[in-house]
Amino acid sequence: MRALPIAVTVLAAALALTSCDGGGSGSTGGSGKSGDTAGSSKKATAAACAIGDTGIQVGPANAATAAGDTGNIPVTLTNKGARCTLTGFPGLTVEGGGTSAAIEADKSAAPEPLTLAEGDTATFTITYVRGADGDAKTLAVKTLKIALPGADTTQSFPWSYGPLAGKGSASEPNASVTPFQHAGD
């Protein structure tokens, strides 16, 4: 006879637990749980980072000093806005002498989405080969333009690392860029 009161107690506890919604009073229709899951995933997804909401520092670099040498230029981004996500690679263009050329993504790298809270920093690195002054395959770069994924807006920075060697021509820079990585820790 004692089994009946225990079974009723267990059933009541189970019903009480399944009726808990945890998502507030905004749920309509269905079990509430599917609404909570959709709401949670929407909250967890951050918008793409906007270049206007980031502080960007180019360098200091390990600059290539002679033609044929390889140099590395670290670039640091600091999120000054709301929580946001960087996915993939930055868009980089170099310009000089009326020629504009894109810097390719490092094909050996596998980018992962990177979420930044306000004040968080991320980095990427530009690796390049210095060209010879006056060579037809060299681009005398004066400006570096940086765009974040999914946006056409750019910020321009002076290029002070010497001429950039081309792979086959000056419009095909011998340079690459890494994906975004968390800075610090």
* Residue-level pLDDT at 46: 80
Dmax over CA atoms of the chain, in Å, equals 100
* Segments in the chain forming alpha helices (H): 3-19, 33-44
* Residue-level pLDDT at 185: 56
* Residue-level pLDDT at 11: 35
**Listed residue (32, 82, 64, 88) closest to 165, CA to CA:** 64
Q: How far apart are CA 180 and CA 84, in angstroms?
A: 13
Global pTM reads 0.74
Q: How far apart are CA 114 and CA 78, in angstroms?
A: 13
Q: Any idea which residue has 């033609």 for tokens?
A: 67
For residue 128, list its beta bridge partners.
71, 175
Helices then strands, each counted (H, E), the chain: 2, 14
Tokens of 134: 């006056």
Q: How far apart are CA 175 and CA 72, in angstroms?
A: 10
Mean pLDDT by groups of 10 residues along the chain of 185 residues? 42 37 39 38 71 95 94 97 95 94 94 94 97 94 95 94 93 96 80
Domain ranges of the chain: 48-182
Q: How far apart are CA 24 and CA 92, in angstroms?
A: 45
* Residue-level pLDDT at 184: 72
* Residue-level pLDDT at 88: 93
Q: How far apart are CA 38 and CA 40, in angstroms?
A: 5
* Residue-level pLDDT at 159: 97
Record: fold of 48-182: Immunoglobulin-like (2.60.40)
